[in-house]
Every structure is written in C-alpha cells, then in structure tokens.
Amino acid sequence: MAAFELKAYLSERKQRVDAYLEESFPVAAGLEKSVVDAARYSLFAGGKRLRPILCLASAEVVGGSLDTVMPVAAA
C-alpha cells in the first residue's frame, strides 16, 4: 500500500473546489469593479477550503461521487 500524501491530497482537492467556484460564480458584466473585487476576495480568500475538503473526503469514504457532493461542499 502506498503512503498517503496529505499535502498532495489537500492541494488537489483545493484546486477542484476553486475550479468549481470559478465556474459557478463568473464575473458579471456591468458590476462595479469594487463590488466584484470585494465579493471575489470574500469567496476566494485563503484559509477557507478545509470545510469543503472535509466534505469531499467524507463523501469519498462512503463511496460518494465528488461531482455530486461538490455543490454542498462549496456552499
């Protein structure tokens, strides 16, 4: 059995969550840049990925699909 690489796992899951958020919340045309910047800062600021990653890991443990649980994880 191969050793579990926690850093690699966390990094890969963070990338998946970030990609989902980018896809789900595109920048809307016509909004003030300051409003967009504030919203994106709040959404994409560092340190806000542990809960989504734990949600994804929980789904994996019970055989769930990451694609199915991603909306809940990213909420």
Domain carrying residue 57: 6-25+32-74
Q: Is residue 36 part of a domain?
A: yes
pLDDT tens figures, 51-69:
999 999 999 999 999 999 9
Q: How far apart are CA 7 and CA 41, in angstroms?
A: 24
Q: Decide if pLDDT at 75 tops 80.
A: yes
Reported residue count of the chain is: 75
Exposure of 26 by Cβ count < 10 A (0-12 exposed, 13-18 middle, 19+ buried)?
Answer: exposed
pTM to 2 decimals?
0.82
Q: Is residue 1 part of a domain?
A: no
Q: What angle do CA 19, 45, 31 make, to 5 degrees?
A: 80
Q: Give the pLDDT of residue 64.
A: 96
2 or 62: which leads in pLDDT: 62
Q: What's the total number of domains in the chain? A: 1
Write the CA distances from 57 to 18, 21, 45, 67, integer angstroms.
Answer: 16, 18, 21, 12
